[in-house]
Chains A and B, each alone.
Chain A
């Protein structure tokens, strides 16, 4: 067999990101702590250039390269832009916090950039192998990021938990992949789908067993019940900027992984994974929404809220139609925007030596800063699915997809659980507006954080009043 050099153009964005990340790594090694801002600015530059390449320099339509391991299609481009934009926001939110807590180090930026690269590979994966490669690059970077504040016992505990559970999940995923490979004899997702459809596999049973293991890996990455145990502990244990990162962009990658593996690779046995996903979705919505009520730590509460949102995303995917995938994608993007704002708020409220972790720290925020109380109000009502905010349309889209797929009972269950969920979002609003503050220091955050948060909050409102644009983008990707 003759060696053919692969076409590199479709992967231009990943190549750019990798190159620039190496530059950041090198430059950072020679910087003194006082000049860490150079790393920060270079990192932002890296994100912006990569986004530019994704947006303008990777061509149209779908191109497959690297012997079928890598695909660059409209979904990949949109999701990569979302990941890059989110990561950029994370850096904007994080800088001051890191500097204040004396953990303003180059590793944070480099690890986050490598995680971003992993996510981009996952998003563009076209074979079982590249999904796994991307996932591992992402996961290993995240384990290190979680443990990044090495003086903190909580962070070490969270990292350990995350690593052990994550390793098991990766093992399951890899095991499932090997079963599928054994049964179908191919790693290529399109080929896999075709062979299963034609009945050209060794045995249906092995395909189903492989599917079950794949789902474990996907559910773990999403944090769907019953593979959610790591989520609250990791969210709570890590420094808030890392929580912000772990809680936002990787969900996009997890969504991409689910679409690539389930729809692209195993679309021909949709009924099989549909029924499995129903269990995961219902359990996630129920556990997430109900357990969140009992939380007193805002990060834990948001973790359980994430779990319930994941249930909604899975509900879109399991509808098994273009409408459903579109709705799930819309929901994922909406969730990422809302989660970024919510954790950004936690960062804003933190001060030197004081982590605004407890719900009570939100008490009387309206007295201290009406503007940011208003922003948090928007985020909370949006997460609860109250119009006219972004989260409402995301819920509508998913529910409509479920009704369309003759799963009206699931839709009704979902809305009932979301009403239960509304309670804990309302509690945050209650604390901010109805209670008196314990003390009234002015908000300390820098103007960058404040601007970013205002932008983020207003974006949720604007996309709620004019939802057309984002919906059209999702429309463009599917169908």
Chain B
């Protein structure tokens, strides 16, 4: 039914045009802007569903492909397509955007249409990042995305928003330009900007190492990996709730996606050579950043640090695959790491998004993010407390929630590489539990701390809907991750094949 319909193009351009319409509506018509934004994001979500239903399982080939020449002189094509890695992330994007639009419904009072326009345009650009199969097209979406995020943090953010947003922009911009030079170098080698052609290009060790490092810099900043993570706590704390949700749920995933799409298949030998670097940085992120999260006084900052620690799991999973393969020579164990990393990405997208929404719910009422200002919230907001406890436990990796699946797979994979890796990685189960449960204890339980808390009203229907939907998915993915694994399976197997074959020029 949808065979000829340019589904991916629609997912990219519909929200962007929606955003343009919002800008045209202007600031006087705030309600019209809200409704338009909701309608556009809902339509985008609905038309993204056929990606899942119509997705052909059992193949690693690109699907829903669109190919048109774009800049003929540089042989750049408008080439879109999805496989098992990118499809779930696109669904995550369209889904989270709907939630973000709903979350901003009452909270945003100034320059309403620009706010929603920025989010819609960003949705289109993010879909573009995941769908692009041409490296230049990918880069255009990747960089263009910074513009709306820059505006979102800077205009609707907190008191130190200017510092945070400039830091965010320059950090990520600086990371990506090296990737740009690498892409151009690869273009010189292959004569095309097709990512799939890059995959097949054999490269010497020296160029591979340089390209790997350039990619690493770009993606490590985005993930963000220790030690280039420092922009994230600032950006998260200052961003409005919607901005934090998009940042945590989707933008961080682009770093992980980049590793799978670029680093691993284009420079497999360099990845194998330098896997210790990533594994070490990831373990530092898991342990050290976990400890840092423990001492935070600001709820958003705590969740931001927890995000870094969890994303450490993602990169650990991706690169532990090399260590496992080198040690056992079998791809089965290596597959665990990749699968775990992917599941962790999707699951973290839902959980961190939900936690930021929870903080947003409190912030809208109390205008404070300091943990000290709360206490005993469960007494006045029982429904909210139930949700927050659920998401906190999911964040800590409780079995039965989606947070458990990814972490368990990665730890299982790490064990095959080196039991010490698994031991260090598993400390997250302790640390994660410590900082999230302590957060819950201090905010939700105990005596009602002050008059502000005593006057709190519980969730309204809109907020209940938001958190409820997320809760359903967190639990569903926790007890029944099979659909997700099934979709990703062939693509990840294909990726494993790619990384197990040396690309060195003989």
Q: Does B32 contact A (CB under 8 A)?
A: no
Which residues on the B side are within 8 Å of A140 (C-beta)?
Answer: none
Complex Cα distance, B180 from A386, in Å, reads 12
Of A68-76, A200-208, A428-436, the stretch lying at the interface with chain B is A428-436
- Would you call A411 and B140 a contact (CB within 8 A)? no
Within 8 A of B (CB), among A396-426: 396-397, 399-400, 403-404, 408, 411-412, 415-416, 418-419, 422-423, 426
Q: A370-B114, A475-B73 are in contact. Are A415 and B144 (CB under 8 A)?
A: no
Q: A403-B184, A434-B154 are in contact. Are A426 and B169 (CB under 8 A)?
A: yes
B5 CB to nearest A CB, Å: 22
Within 8 A of A (CB), among B155-179: 155, 161-162, 165-166, 169-170, 173-174, 177-178
- Would you call B178 and A415 a contact (CB within 8 A)? yes
- Would you call A434 and B174 a contact (CB within 8 A)? no
Which residues on the B side are within 8 Å of A415 (C-beta)?
Answer: 177-178, 180-181
Q: Which partner residue on chain B sits nearest A400 by CB separation?
A: B184
A315 CB to nearest B CB, Å: 13
Q: Does A229 contact B (CB under 8 A)?
A: no
- Would you call A419 and B154 a contact (CB within 8 A)? no
- Would you call B73 and A472 a contact (CB within 8 A)? yes
Q: Does B56 contact A (CB under 8 A)?
A: no
- Would you call A381 and B147 a contact (CB within 8 A)? yes
Q: Does A388 contact B (CB under 8 A)?
A: yes
Q: Does B27 contact A (CB under 8 A)?
A: yes
Q: A399-B180, A433-B155 are in contact. Are A467 and B71 (CB under 8 A)?
A: yes
A360 CB to nearest B CB, Å: 15
Q: Does B423 contact A (CB under 8 A)?
A: no
Q: A392-B140, A419-B174 are in contact. Are A468 and B71 (CB under 8 A)?
A: yes
- Would you call B166 and A423 a contact (CB within 8 A)? yes
Which residues on the B side are within 8 Å of A78 (C-beta)?
Answer: none
Q: Does A387 contact B (CB under 8 A)?
A: yes
Complex Cα distance, B184 from A67, in Å, reads 44
The one of B26, B73, B139 in contact with A468, judged by C-beta atoms closer than 8 angstroms, is B73
B118 CB to nearest A CB, Å: 11
Which residues on the A side are within 8 Å of B180 (C-beta)?
Answer: 396, 399, 415
- Would you call A412 and B147 a contact (CB within 8 A)? no
Which residues on the B side are within 8 Å of A430 (C-beta)?
Answer: 154, 162, 165-166
Of B73, B111, B139, the most chain A CB neighbours within 10 A belong to B73
Q: A423-B166, A426-B150 are in contact. Are A399 and B139 (CB under 8 A)?
A: no
- Would you call B140 and A422 a contact (CB within 8 A)? no
Cβ proximity bits A343-360 to B, threshold 8 Å, 1 near / 0 not: 000000000000000000
Which residues on the A side are within 8 Å of B151 (C-beta)?
Answer: 429, 433
Complex Cα distance, B185 from A403, in Å, reads 7
Q: Does B72 contact A (CB under 8 A)?
A: yes
Which residues on the A side are within 8 Å of B174 (C-beta)?
Answer: 416, 419
Q: Which partner residue on chain B sits nearest A367 by CB separation?
A: B111
Which residues on the B side are within 8 Å of A422 (C-beta)?
Answer: 169-170, 173
- Would you call A386 and B143 a contact (CB within 8 A)? yes
Q: Which partner residue on chain B sits nearest A384 by CB separation?
A: B173
Q: Interface residues of A: mostly helix, strand, loop or mixed?
A: helix
Which residues on the B side are within 8 Å of A416 (C-beta)?
Answer: 174, 177
Complex Cα distance, B140 from A374, in Å, reads 19
Of A377, A434, A467, the most chain B CB neighbours within 10 A belong to A434
Of A374, A404, A468, A472, the most chain B CB neighbours within 10 A belong to A468
- Would you call B73 and A471 a contact (CB within 8 A)? yes
- Would you call B166 and A471 a contact (CB within 8 A)? no
Complex Cα distance, B262 from A388, in Å, reads 21
Which residues on the A side are within 8 Å of B70 (C-beta)?
Answer: 468
Which residues on the B side are within 8 Å of A412 (C-beta)?
Answer: 178, 181
Within 8 A of B (CB), among A319-367: 366
Q: A422-B170, A423-B170 are in contact. Are A370 and B27 (CB under 8 A)?
A: yes
Complex Cα distance, B69 from A472, in Å, reads 14
Complex Cα distance, B140 from A19, in Å, reads 47
A428 CB to nearest B CB, Å: 12
Of A381, A397, A400, the most chain B CB neighbours within 10 A belong to A400
- Would you call A419 and B188 a contact (CB within 8 A)? no
The one of A386, A423, A475 in contact with B147, judged by C-beta atoms closer than 8 angstroms, is A386
Complex Cα distance, B151 from A370, in Å, reads 13
- Would you call B184 and A387 a contact (CB within 8 A)? no
- Would you call A404 and B188 a contact (CB within 8 A)? yes
- Would you call A386 and B181 a contact (CB within 8 A)? no
- Would you call A426 and B143 a contact (CB within 8 A)? no
Q: Does B187 contact A (CB under 8 A)?
A: yes
Q: Does B74 contact A (CB under 8 A)?
A: yes
- Would you call B144 and A387 a contact (CB within 8 A)? yes
The one of A374, A408, A434 in contact with B23, judged by C-beta atoms closer than 8 angstroms, is A374
Q: Does B146 contact A (CB under 8 A)?
A: yes
- Would you call A419 and B177 a contact (CB within 8 A)? yes
Which residues on the B side are within 8 Å of A366 (C-beta)?
Answer: 111, 114, 155
Complex Cα distance, B425 from A79, in Å, reads 62
Of A397, A411, A412, A430, the most chain B CB neighbours within 10 A belong to A430
B135 CB to nearest A CB, Å: 11
Complex Cα distance, B184 from A475, in Å, reads 19
Complex Cα distance, B111 from A423, in Å, reads 25
Q: Which partner residue on chain A sits nearest B177 by CB separation?
A: A415
Complex Cα distance, B76 from A393, in Å, reads 12
Complex Cα distance, B150 from A399, in Å, reads 26
- Would you call B143 and A411 a contact (CB within 8 A)? no
Within 8 A of B (CB), among A452-470: 467-468
- Would you call A408 and B181 a contact (CB within 8 A)? yes
Q: A374-B23, A419-B174, A430-B154 are in contact. Are A403 and B166 (CB under 8 A)?
A: no
The one of B136, B162, B170, B188 in contact with A434, judged by C-beta atoms closer than 8 angstroms, is B162
- Would you call B150 and A419 a contact (CB within 8 A)? no
- Would you call A370 and B23 a contact (CB within 8 A)? yes
Residues on B facing A (Cβ under 8 Å): 23, 26-27, 70-74, 111, 114, 136, 139-141, 143-144, 146-147, 150-151, 154-155, 161-162, 165-166, 169-170, 173-174, 177-178, 180-181, 184-185, 187-188
Q: List 14 A-B contacts (CB under 8 A).
A: A370-B27, A386-B147, A387-B139, A396-B136, A400-B74, A400-B187, A403-B188, A404-B188, A411-B184, A416-B177, A422-B173, A423-B170, A426-B169, A468-B71
Q: 4 additional contacts, CB 8 Å, given A412-B178, A419-B170, A426-B166?
A: A387-B139, A392-B140, A404-B188, A434-B154
Residues on A facing B (Cβ under 8 Å): 366, 370, 374, 377, 381, 386-388, 392-393, 396-397, 399-400, 403-404, 408, 411-412, 415-416, 418-419, 422-423, 426, 429-430, 433-434, 467-468, 471-472, 475
Top 7 A-B pairs, shortest CB-CB distance: A415-B177, A387-B140, A434-B154, A471-B73, A419-B174, A387-B143, A400-B184
